[in-house]
A and B are shown apart, each in its own frame.
Chain A
Amino acid sequence: MDSHTIEFEINGKRASLEVVSHRTLLQVLREDLHLSGTKEGCGEGECGACTVLVDGRSVTACLTLAVEVDGCSVRTIEGESEGPDLSPLQEAFVKNHALQCGFCTPGMIMSARALLERNPSPTEDQIKEAIAGNLCRCTGYRPIIQAIREAAARRKDQSAKG
């Protein structure tokens, strides 16, 4: 099987890996790098549980080949915060009860992160649009939308102050 050496940045750290060409980014993240926070819900690009950021854009890792991220910067849920601290987005999810079983949560947070990075003050419709590819069977989405709104508002407050 033909394999390639790829180099990329994962959550701010450089990584160099030998990967077989048909392996997906999801497999490489979970199995080779042991970053199991990114989940698999379908393996066919339809549920969003595997959402990660590649150069700031949200992608479904199950449909992305690992070789495609050669030279890119990849961010997963493990890069969202460190130690005992939570990012404002994660805090907003907790406070707004935006999770139940938690299986969609990592992917949901990554989609929200991508949205807030390109649009710091999204409307409710823009939020719905941004997470429309992330299925959640538990929460009914309303608390998730609320959490993203709140995180956006807090960011705006902070940048206004700063």
Chain B
Amino acid sequence: MSEGLIGKGVPRIESFEKVTGTARFVGDMDLPGMLHGRMLLSPHAHARIVRIDTSKAESLDGVAAVLVGEELPYRLGLYMVDKPVLASGKVRHHGEVVAAVAAVSEEIAARAADLIEVTYEPLAAVFDPVEAVKPDAPLVHEDLHTYHTIKGVFFPRPHTNIANHARLRKGDVEEGFAAADAIVENEFSLPQVAHVPLETHRTVAHWKRNGAIEIWSSAQSPFAVRNLLSVALGMSHSRIRVVVPHVGGAFGGKAGIHLEPLVSLLSRKAGHRPVKLAATREEEFSTLPCRQGLVARIKTGVTKEGKITAQKIEYLWDAGAYADYGVNIGRAAGYSGAGPYDIDNVWIDSLTIYTNRPFGTAYRGFGHVEFFWAIERQMDMVAREIGMDSCDFRMRNLLRPGSVTITGEEITENTGSVEKCLEAVAAEVGWKERSSLGSGGNGKVRARGIAVLHKAPAMPSNTAISAILKFNEDATVDLMISGVDYGQGTATAFCQMTAEHLRIPMENVHFIWNKDTDRMPYDWQTVASRLTFMGGNAVIRAAEDCVSQLKDMASRALDVPVGDLEIQDGKVFVAREPARSIDYRALVMGYMFPSGNSIGGPVIGRGTCIAEGLTVLDPETGQGLPAANWTFGAHGVEIEIDTATGEIQVLKLASAFDVGRVINEALCRGQVVGGCLQGLGTALLETFIYNDEGCLINNSFTDYKIPTARDIPIETKEIFIETPQLNGPHGARGVAEHPMISIPSAVGNAIADALGVEIMELPLSPERVYLALKRKGNRD
């Protein structure tokens, strides 16, 4: 079969709207009678709410509603239902929403929010996961034992701060350590950081007088918003409509549910007028979720030949004040957290821990950026301990066909190859030749580092998606699928697949942008780099469904068996006599014989995909099948370190991924280049900074810096390995999250390799690097 369109770097289909400023985002919407919302935030990290006086705010002209937590007996959450709509009884983090206002203008809403008087009584707070697990630590959630969660999947420990305890047991680590020649033990950590989509969270909601709710939101997952809202409010799904227009970046931070319930409830209280709420940049940092912090303790046993005999790991996740999504990040680290290595004896305890900090959620990589910082730094340190080259050491231990993962899954020829990825980047950055690296002069030192990675989509075992293809009279086709393309380019990839399988030009495929739960077929969530993989399968099946309907009619029209028919260029034709053909146009609304008799009917194709074969993991050992597919990868970097200032410049970054099959070369490359720079943000710049009271003090772009055009690597190289995934669309796997993973480790490894300083924390800021060098200088 010819695959003309697959692999091509066609420009993204929504380019025109985006370069002309005509693409509609939620913030661009205006409805008749629309009010503006504003939130009042907690100035404390942990405090009892003694009293809220809203009278002054209510009497301000132009105020339509003031809401406080007491009025809202609803709790929300994706995996752990632990989040109130507004704080009630107490606040659990600085920046938590305590009250909200709807008014006729943004200005009046802001003034009204300022007029709300709240009396707090500060409570003892806990800011560190290591402290929070101690028996006498203040409790963030006294009622944890009453919260709804998925039984048998998540394991909260009532009356503690532990929201989930995931366990993985493979083999016997004590035996493994006994067989080792060396044992290396280290602790690594990294701070909370922010997703920083350029568009902050925005929602317009209209609770109508007939009791139905309409929502327009910058969300990743319209159906998840609808489902969680329906559960929280006890309302039928069919009464809630969620529409997602263009979304200005998300990276996991817009998955699950965020402002939608609050804005809906404001609308109800404001006499059923629509309300718009746009998070300020400060709220985006302090109030909306961030990426969790992590403390990782790793003990590795190794023989002098370089075989890892055992690995025992403890992951302590700083979930912050809520863990509704965070528990699943801890769980993913439980089943994926030893890295892409073949190790007989593994023990992991992954604890998701409540603290009084802003709360964490999914962020590109879903825990893997965090724990790979620890794993891949550890691998270099173990190799150094036994005097082995760290690339050779990895090669000795990597997963390969025949290996068994830590959950008991056998790796096959089709799983993908992490070895090829590592080989490719090591060659590209000249790993073996690094001894010849000259110094840059003036105290500047050149260094190279490598690191590997893997990740599977983290999703429930019944995750499903569906697609509909609906023909128009002129044989163009509407593609309806609810996965949200907030920049990844999946919409374009889907159109390529549709055109390819229907044998029509791409411009004849019309992608429907507004994702609308009233009109579109179901999708679980746009997360986990699963959209191309699962959505692609659904789209292809929908196209095949159309083709079989077209052929069925054509077979009756031409009086030939279906098996003799082929399709090409928008026609069905008889394989041996191509001149006998029927144009799709004569079929898509049903076929009419010359006599006027008609058969068939309008062609609508349907395709679905469910995550087949996944299992719930054993609660004690974590054994089972958690992964629909693994994407493997590796990074190699060359950096220049200014030893006088601690500043790091990235000279070259080479990244390789086994993507199975490239569907759109340019979009794939775009994911890598963009994801790598986000990874460099985590590696070099980004961190939340708190004062002693647990208030986030760098909650603006002035104080929280992300990479700019000046910070990009001088040279980058993206390498795609293609080991086809048997059940993937055209063999493809997801690659949206992976570029970010292990970038920090590669940079940290380069510093250690060249300068002999082992930095265990992120970010690798000039200050931290400088101080580490100074400490070493004092020691030497």
> Which A residues fall within an 8 A CB radius of B?
30, 35-44, 46-47, 49, 76-78, 80-81, 86, 90, 93-95, 97, 99-106, 109, 127-129, 131-145
Contacts and interface: CB of A to CB of B under 8 A. Distances in A.
Contact of A86 (B20, B198, B250, B487): B20
Interface in B1-59: 9, 11-12, 14-25, 27-28
B22 A37 contact: yes
B487 A101 contact: yes
A134 to B, nearest CB: 8
B196 interface: yes
Q: Binding site of A, secondary structure by majority: helix, strand, loop or mixed?
A: loop
Contacts of B334: none
By size class, the interface of chain B is 35 or more
Contact of A47 (B195, B669, B701): B701
B667 A77 contact: no
B766 interface: no
B652 to A, nearest CB: 13
Given A40-B27, A97-B12, A140-B677, 12 more contacts: A38-B21, A39-B27, A41-B200, A44-B281, A47-B281, A93-B19, A101-B246, A101-B486, A135-B706, A138-B674, A140-B675, A145-B709
Rank and list the top 5 A-B pairs by shortest CB-CB distance, nearest first. A37-B21, A103-B248, A102-B18, A100-B487, A101-B487
A80 B197 CA distance: 25
Given A44-B281, A102-B246, A137-B678, A132 B702 contact: no
Given A137-B678, A138-B487, A141-B677, A104 B21 contact: no
Nearest to A95: B11
B59 to A, nearest CB: 20
A47 B200 CA distance: 12
Nearest to A99: B18
A106 B21 contact: yes
Interface in B449-496: 486-489
B474 to A, nearest CB: 20
A39 B198 CA distance: 9
12 contacts: A80-B21, A97-B666, A99-B15, A102-B19, A103-B197, A128-B712, A131-B709, A138-B487, A139-B670, A140-B676, A142-B716, A145-B712
B247 interface: yes
B251 interface: yes
A137 B198 contact: yes
Contact of A105 (B19, B247, B677, B712): B19
Contacts of A144: 709
Contacts of B17: 102
Contacts of B11: 94-95, 97
B698 interface: no
A133 B218 CA distance: 24
A106 to B, nearest CB: 4
B19 A94 contact: yes
Contacts, number: 163
A101 B199 contact: yes
Interface in B156-191: none
A94 B15 contact: yes
B508 interface: no
A43 B487 CA distance: 23
Given A39-B199, A44-B701, A131-B709, A137 B251 contact: yes
B281 A42 contact: yes
B710 interface: yes
B710 A132 contact: yes
A38 to B, nearest CB: 7
A49 B19 contact: no
A19 to B, nearest CB: 14
A131 B708 CA distance: 8
A75 to B, nearest CB: 12
Contact of B21 (A36, A47, A101, A143): A36
A114 B279 CA distance: 30
B280 interface: yes
A21 to B, nearest CB: 13
B515 to A, nearest CB: 15
B248 A39 contact: yes
Contact of B249 (A36, A93, A106, A137): A137
B673 interface: yes
A95 B9 CA distance: 10
B303 interface: no
A125 to B, nearest CB: 9
B198 A128 contact: no
B700 A135 contact: no
B709 A44 contact: no
A47 B20 contact: no
Interface in B215-251: 246-251
Of B24, B198, B487, B702, most A-chain CB atoms within 10 Å: B198
B369 to A, nearest CB: 15
A145 B710 CA distance: 11
Contacts of B700: 42, 44, 46
A100 B20 contact: no
A153 to B, nearest CB: 18
